[in-house]
Amino acid sequence: MTAHFDAWVLLLAAIGATYLWRGLAVPLSSRIDGDGRAFEWMTCVTYALLAGLISRMIVLPYGELATTPVAYRIIATLVALTAYFIGRRNLLLGVGLGTLTFLSLTLYDQGP
Amino acid sequence: MNPVQHESPSAANAVRCGIRDALGMPMVVLLASMTAFGSLAREGGLSLELALVSTIGVWALPGQIVFVELYAAGGDVVALILAVSFANARFLPMGMSLLPMLRHGLVRTGWLYLYAHLVSAQSWAYCRRMFPKLPAEARRPYFLAFALSILAISLGGTALGYVLSGTLPRPLALSLVLVNPLFMLLLLADSRSRPVVLALIAGVGLGPAMHLFAPNWGLLLTGIVAGSAGFATDRVLIARRKPS
C-alpha cells in the first residue's frame, strides 16, 4: 500500500516537473509574434534541439538500447536516410528499412 | 439547400486532416515506441494505471523512460524528479515556437495552458509542417485533432506493451525503441528552409557532445547554440547576397 502510494506521488511530481516547462511557454510566448524574427530564431532553436535530442537518442541512448553496438545504430540510421531519399521521401520505407537493418544486425549477434 | 451555417468549413476539414495525418506514420511509430515503453514500465514494477497516467500526464517518451528506469533503480527521489524535469525542458522552446501560431482569434487564452500540454515532438513537427498550408483559423482544429489522436493511440500502445511485456524477443523489443528516433530524424530531414537545415546539421553534431559535457542542460544548450548558429549564418548569407 505504501509503496503503491509512493509511486503515485512520484509520478504526480514528475508530471508537475514536466508541465512546468510546457506551462511556462504560455506567458513567455505571449508577446512573440508568429511572423517575427524572434519566432524564427525560436524555431531554429527548437529544430536544433530536436536534432540534438534525436542524435543523442541514437548515439547515446538511455536504457537497454545502450547495450547494443553503436555501429549498428548508426548503420541503421544511414540505411533509413538513404532509403528515404532514394525512395522519394517515403517515411514508411525509410523507417521500415532502417528498423529492419537494426533488427537483422542484433539478431545476427544473438545467433549461434 | 442546407441553411445550417457550419462554424467554419475549413475547421471541419482541418479536423479530418489532423486525424488522417495521425493515423498514418505517427500511429505506426507510436504503437511501436509506446509498446516498448509499456513493456519497460511493467518490467520496472509500475502498475498499468501508473503507466497509462504517465503517458497522459508526462506525455514525453524520454522523460517517461527516465522515470521508469530511476523508479526501478529506487534511487533518490529529488534526483528522479530533477532528471525527469531536465529530460523534458525542451518543451519550453517547443511551446514558444508553436503556441503563437495557435493564438489567432482565441478569445479565452487560458486554453493555451491546455494546448501547451499537448505539445510533443510529433505534434510540433507535424504542425510546423502543415501550418503554412492551412488558413490561420484552421490551425487550432488541426493541432487538437492531431494531438488528441496520437495521445489516444499512445494509450493503446502503452496498454498493449504492458500486456505483451516479457513475450517480445529482445532484438525486437530493442528495435521498437529505435523506431521513434529514426522517424523523427526523417521528418526533420524533410526541412527545406536554409536556417532550419543549418540548425539541424549543427544540432545533430552538437547533441551527443553537449550531453556528455552537461547531462542536464545539454539539450537546451544544443538548441540555443546550434539554433542561433543556423539562424545567424542564414542572416549573414542574406546580407552577403545584397550588393553593397
Residues B22-65 pLDDT 10s = 999 999 999 999 999 999 999 999 999 999 999 999 999 988 98
Give me B11's grid cell. Answer: 475547421
Q: Does the structure's ipTM exceed the value 0.90? A: yes
Which residue of A18, A65, A75 is the best one to mutate when testing the B interface, meaning the one whose CB has the most B CBs within 10 A? A18
Give me B188's grid cell. Answer: 526533420
Characterise B27 by phi-psi region: left (phi > 0), alpha (psi -120 to 50), beta (else).
alpha
| Cα dihedral B113/B114/B120/B125 (nearest 10) | -80
Q: What is the pLDDT of residue A112?
A: 56
Residue pairs spanning A and B at CB distance below 8 A: 296
The model's pLDDT over A54-82, given as tens digits with 9 standing for 90+, comes to 999 999 998 788 999 999 999 999 999 99
The model's pLDDT over B199-229, given as tens digits with 9 standing for 90+, comes to 999 999 999 999 999 988 899 999 999 999 9
Please answer whether residues A68 and A106 qualify as being in contact, where contact means their C-beta atoms are separated by less than 8 angstroms.
yes
CA proximity to B210, closest of B219, B202, B201? B219
**Residue A23 in 3-state DSSP?**
helix
pTM of the model: 0.91
The model's pLDDT over B120-156, given as tens digits with 9 standing for 90+, comes to 999 999 999 999 999 998 999 999 999 999 999 999 9
The model's pLDDT over A45-58, given as tens digits with 9 standing for 90+, comes to 999 999 999 999 99
Chain A residues near residue B226 by CB distance under 8 angstroms: 48-49, 51-52
Which has the minimum average pLDDT: A90-99, A102-111, B150-159? A102-111
Per-residue pLDDT at B241 exceeds 70: yes
Please answer whether residues A14 and B50 qualify as being in contact, where contact means their C-beta atoms are separated by less than 8 angstroms.
no
Per-residue pLDDT at B6 exceeds 70: no
Q: What is the pLDDT of residue A110?
A: 78
Give the pLDDT mean for B187-204: 94
Please answer whether residues A22 and B116 qualify as being in contact, where contact means their C-beta atoms are separated by less than 8 angstroms.
yes
Give the closest-approach CA distance of B195 to chain A in angstroms: 7
Which residue of A1, A54, A79 is the best one to mutate when testing the B interface, meaning the one whose CB has the most B CBs within 10 A? A54
Per-residue pLDDT at B5 exceeds 50: no
pLDDT category of residue B69 using cuts at 50, 70 and 90: confident
Closest chain B CA to residue A53: B207
Q: What is the pLDDT of residue B168?
A: 87
pLDDT category of residue A15 using cuts at 50, 70 and 90: very high
Give the closest-approach CA distance of A50 to chain B in angstroms: 8
Contact B25 A95 (CB under 8 A): yes
Q: Mean pLDDT of all residues in chain B?
A: 91
Please answer whether residues B146 and B154 qualify as being in contact, where contact means their C-beta atoms are separated by less than 8 angstroms.
no
Chain A residues near residue B206 by CB distance under 8 angstroms: 48, 52
Nearest to A18 among B85, B109, B183 (CB): B85
> Is the CB of residue A47 less than 8 Å away from at least one CB of chain B?
yes
Count of CB atoms situated within 10 Å of the CB of B111: 15
Q: What is the pLDDT of residue A6?
A: 85
Closest chain A CA to residue B227: A45
B residues 164..193 contacting A (CB < 8 A): 170-175, 177-191
> Is the CB of residue B135 less than 8 Å away from at least one CB of chain A?
no
pLDDT category of residue B12 using cuts at 50, 70 and 90: confident
User: What whole-number distance in Å separates Cα of residue B220 and Cα of residue B18?
Assistant: 29
Count of CB atoms situated within 10 Å of the CB of B5: 7
Chain A residues near residue B228 by CB distance under 8 angstroms: 41, 44-45
Closest chain B CA to residue A14: B81
Give the closest-approach CA distance of B13 to chain A in angstroms: 23
Give CA angle at B125 (B123, B131), nearest 5°.
90
Count of CB atoms situated within 10 Å of the CB of B107: 6
CA proximity to A54, closest of B122, B218, B97, B182? B182
